[in-house]
Amino acid sequence: MEPRSLRHLWSRRRLRHRQPVFGFLERAIRRERSFKRAIVLATAAAIVVILKVVPWGQYLTAAIATEARRVAGRTLGRPRDRQAIDESWANFRRLGIDLTRPRIAAFYASSEPAFQGLLRYAGMDPEHGLLRWGNYDWTLLLSSKVFEPDDQGRSYRMRPGVRSVWLRGKLAPTPGAPAFYLVPDGPELAEAIRGTGAVVFEGSRQITNSWGLRGPEPDPRAPVRGLVLGDSYMQGMFIGDDETPPECLRRYLDRALATRVSIVNTGVMGYSPEQYYHSLIAFAGRFSPHFVVVSIYANDCGNEVDATGRGEGNWKEGKYWLDRIVKHCREHRWPCLVVPAPFELNLLKRRKPAFYPGAMVNPLELDSVMYLDPSEDFLNAHLRSLIDRRRSYQSTTGCLLFNKNIGDRHFSAAGAEVWAESVGRRLVLVMEKERAFRETPGAEARPGTVETEPRAAPAIPTSLRGAPGEPSTSSEYPR
């Protein structure tokens, strides 16, 4: 029998032996199959909506794609992809902002009318509040009248020509994002805070210059010019414009060098090494500094408690950006002094320098001359203060170098002066050394130095008492 006939016979036998099914059962089976197909389609549609619309879904989609590229690159033996790391950070920070926005809206809706009015005055209400990433991995709520977005790496920056002041008192914590109540200092402020429990912290007023920075107007033609990178410690928390550490440093160098000094203070609260680097790129080219000071702190790479108590933090990420800062300064022959801000509890209690600043600076390739830990100067100043207060029968509780009286760990005006004197002494020695090696060309070269071509970038003037703007040809800055 032919194969086709066999198949036909077999199919007929299958039909002949098929179990008969009642009509109502057949209809039920069809409905069940249709229902299952509908469930599958609805589930697929829900997954698509979650991945495309819901913040966590968007983050997961982007994270999976980034991780897939990273794994593929590692499989192919490619070097570490920095672009993938930056994309991962961007996705994480975008998720934080997307999750925080509805929380701020709910917080605003549940607040008293008076407090809602204060938020509207400050530009911190859901419609106008500035939500940006800061403090390494935080989402911050800022006044859109004092700050503005920055999409060139700094996340946010201070608006130029704005007068602002800090509010303190019984301010309700905002859910999901720390709120910084640095608000416009205008004639309507007194009415805006009425009935809210907020009070103006006198002595904390600040005015930004035309560059959107705290401090005097920068002078690119000054005989000596310095640029300070940092966070809230350098911006100056709860102290006046003439009391910030960079402004104290300018006065110290003015006296020590007997010449005009201009310091650009790029410190902004919430900044971390990534934003320090982009601040350097934003301002160094237009200012041509003779030196750069990088102020770092324990929360630059994670939580300050973890960093100071256990030495835990994302030190690789911090190293990446700090290395870029040091490299950029070396390429332009700018001495770059790295200065960790002292942690108050480390000074007053058990010292753990292996955790902070050790874990943060050990990975960096720094010449010891260009690294300064001012902790010893702070401790000596604290001891002198204790002695003076004891002998004058005053309270010896706390350290007057920090804002302990208001429960804040930033430098007080006295602490800013100690920081400036410590940093200033080192900078003067570095500049004097540069002069000594330039003015004695016949002297024996330092061990380990290599002759290079004269640098074209601006440097310390030949005479610190004159010849403003004259560049140095020395290549003897420490590397």
Give pLDDT tens digits for 238-292. Answer: 999 999 999 999 999 999 999 999 999 999 999 999 999 999 999 999 999 999 9
Look at residues 232, 268, 110 and name the one whose alpha carbon lies nearest to residue 174.
Answer: 110
Largest CA distance in the chain: 123
Distance CA 345, CA 365 (A): 27
* Cβ neighbours around 39 below 10 Å, total: 10
Look at residues 43, 166, 151, 161 and name the one whose alpha carbon lies nearest to residue 90.
Answer: 151
Name 421's Cβ contacts closer than 8 Å, sequence gap at least 6.
Answer: 248, 252, 377
Is pLDDT of 44 > 50?
Answer: yes
The token duo for 106 is 């709910």
Residue type, 470: E
The token duo for 383 is 């001891």
Q: How confident is the model at residue 477 (pLDDT cuts 50, 70, 90)?
A: very low
The token duo for 287 is 């200012």
- Which CATH number among 3.40.50.10800, 2.30.30.100, 3.40.50.300, 3.40.50.1110 corresponds to the domain 212-439? 3.40.50.1110
Is pLDDT of 475 > 70?
Answer: no
Share of the chain above pLDDT 70, in %: 77
Residue range(s) occupied by CATH 3.40.50.1110 in the chain: 212-439
pLDDT tens-digit series, residues 136-164: 889 999 999 999 999 999 999 999 999 99
